[in-house]
Each structure stands twice: as C-alpha cells, then as structure tokens.
Amino acid sequence: MGLSKGVYVMGPWEIPCLIKRGDKEHPINFQDYLLMKDFRHNNAVFIENFFMDDDAGCLILSNVSGSLEACLRKNASIAFVKECNEYKFSSVLRGLIIEICQVVESLMKLDLYPRNISMDNMCLIYNGNMPVMKVLIYDVENTKGFSDAVKSAKSKIVYDKVKLMVNKICEDLGRQPLHITTKCFIDYIGGDTTSKLNRYPDVWTDEDKEWYLYCIDSADRRRVGPPIRSLWEDSGWPKTPDGAVQPLLERLRAEERTYFRVYDTSDPIDYLRLARNVIKHWVKYKGLPADRAGFLRLLEEWTPGIWCKIYNAVGMP
C-alpha cells in the first residue's frame, strides 16, 4: 500500500494517522487533495491534509488496520464457498466487493472519477472480527461539465477496473472455476446501481426465486416481455437434444389445459408463467420432483443462470 505511520497533531490532540507519499510513478499534488478532502464515506479512507516532503506531495490519511489482499491470503478458505467443485463468494467477501462499488458510485455522483482502482489501495478496518472496507482514492478526474456520453464511457472504464481486480482476486487465490451466478454477479458490477447489485440473484433463496416468478407473472407484459424475449435465441422453453420441449413441461402444459390455461411454447414469458403456476398449485400436479426446491433445480439445470439472466434484463419488475 506504500503507507507509513504518523501522528496528526491538531491543537492539543495527537491522532494516529497514515501518510501516503507520492512518487514519480504516482505523484500526489495539492489539486488531488482539494478534490478529495471533503469526500466522506463509511467505506473510504479519509484524506485529512496535504504537505510537501522535499519534492514529493504527501497526504495525511485516517487510520486502517491492514490490506484487503493480506486479509484474503490469510483467510482464503472462508472468503469463498465451494459448491459442486465451483466457487462462490462468501457473504463477507461479497459484502466487501459491494462496499468498494458503493464508494465508486458515490464519487461518480459527485463527478469525480477514480483513476487509482487497484488492490494496492484496498484497505480494511475491523468491527470486532468483521472486516469493513476502506478504499483509498486520491487520484480522481473532475468531470463537471462533461457530456453524459463521456461520463458514461469513463464510468465503464472505472467499473471495468473493479471487475478486473475482482477476477484477479479469484485467480490469485486459486478459486476457479467460479459458479455461473458468481460470474454473473461480477459481470453485473457497474451495470446498474449498487442497491440492485446487492439484491443480485447469486444469493437468492428458493423462496426468493419463487417470489420472483410471481413478480414476473404479475408485471406489465408490455414492459417485461420484450427484454425477456430478447434473452433467448429461440423460444426459451427448455428442449431435449432432439429439439422437443422437455417432456415434463409438455405433461404440465397438457394438465394445465384442464384448468383452461394455455401456454405458447414460442414465448419465454409463457414458460415462466407455467413455472409460476406449477409452484402456486404444486399439490395438484403429478410426476413432479419430490418438492418445489427440486423443481427449481430443474429450471436451473435446463437454463443455467436463469435468475441472473432475467434479473439482468428487467431487474425487480
């Protein structure tokens, strides 16, 4: 991280602090301090003051306990969860990634676009045994007055750096291959707000998935229909190797006709509607898996990443 310990003196108070000294590769100037001195976020390192040491600009920073990289190398076994020979983020690591994104999002709302997103600047403090992210950002570009198109392009560059950093964490710790929902979570970074990232389907329970089917079915078809239909090159209905609709779904379609409910196998919206009605009227059907969870596993086997694909298209309808 290139930080050294110091003491920040304010009148009668002496406060432990950290000092970041600029160098030829990453110089620090007074303008950097002016842009960042008032930025306050629970997950950001505070920049308290600026001074010159010989010809190098230096920043006085709030204290941190250590680096994210050191924490992960020491606790790699609890940073990931292994599921069927694939890796998912633990709730702790997932939360730290979201905290990084929250800092980035807050900065860009102020038209400040960070240029120094890297593991070297990812710090932590601890609340008891729980790590809390502290991102050190001191090199930003002020984009006030820039067009929306330019800001959008710069936003993509920033979030691409975040995604690259997260993927490198997984690679360096040997946590490969990643579960499909974890890959989708990483890809979604920067795709929308961090609030929506926090609600991403990679951590949904089966109850969440059932509720989501209800939400899709009750949403305005004119709004959710086109983006959902665009997800699939074909109808979206799961097929057998010879191209026929899965036999279980055909049996369910036939049974649904006795309740005067008809489904178009060329429309993925009708596939999701059928799934929702099977969940809702579970006890009426024969030849199903032992429980609703088993039926959800079938949906996920037939269409890997199904919840992520739909969420990417329509969010929470």
What does the alpha-carbon distance between residue 287 and residue 78 come to, in Å, rounded to a whole number? 40
**How does pLDDT run across 288-305, given as a tens digit for each residue?**
888 999 999 999 999 999
- What is the SS3 assignment for 26? coil
Contact assessment for residue 17 and residue 50, using Cβ atoms and an 8 Å cutoff:
no
pLDDT at 137 over 90: yes
**How does pLDDT run across 270-282, given as a tens digit for each residue?**
999 999 999 999 9
Q: Which of the listed CATH numbers 3.50.50.60, 3.40.190.10, 1.10.510.10, 1.10.1490.10 matches domain 67-201?
A: 1.10.510.10
Mean pLDDT calculated for residue range 65-77: 93
Mean pLDDT calculated for residue range 153-176: 96
According to the model, what pLDDT value does residue 1 have? 65
CATH architecture for segment(s) 3-61: 2-Layer Sandwich (3.30)
Contact assessment for residue 157 and residue 278, using Cβ atoms and an 8 Å cutoff:
no
pLDDT at 140 over 90: yes
pLDDT at 183 over 70: yes
What does the alpha-carbon distance between residue 69 and residue 119 come to, in Å, rounded to a whole number? 7
**How does pLDDT run across 99-124, given as a tens digit for each residue?**
999 999 999 999 999 998 999 999 99
**How does pLDDT run across 213-233, given as a tens digit for each residue?**
999 999 999 999 999 999 987
Burial category of 23 from C-beta neighbours within 10 Å (exposed 0-12, middle 13-18, buried 19 and up) = exposed
Chain mean position to CA 300: 20
Domain chopping of the chain, boundaries: 3-61, 67-201, 206-314
Please report, rounded to a whole number, the percentage of residues in the chain having pLDDT higher than 90: 87
Token output for 204: 């949904």
Long-range contacts of 251-255 (CB under 8 A, 24+ apart): 251/287, 252/278, 252/285, 255/284, 255/285, 255/286
Q: Quick one: which of 91, 175, 99, 92 has its CA closest to 133?
A: 99
According to the model, what pLDDT value does residue 188 have? 98
Going by C-beta distance under 8 Å and a sequence separation of 6 or more, which residues neighbour residue 118? 161, 165
pTM to 2 decimal places: 0.94
**CA–CA distance from 2 to each of 22, 67, 132 (Å)?**
9, 11, 20
Going by C-beta distance under 8 Å and a sequence separation of 6 or more, which residues neighbour residue 69? 119, 122
CATH topology of domain 206-314: de novo design (two linked rop proteins) (1.20.1440)
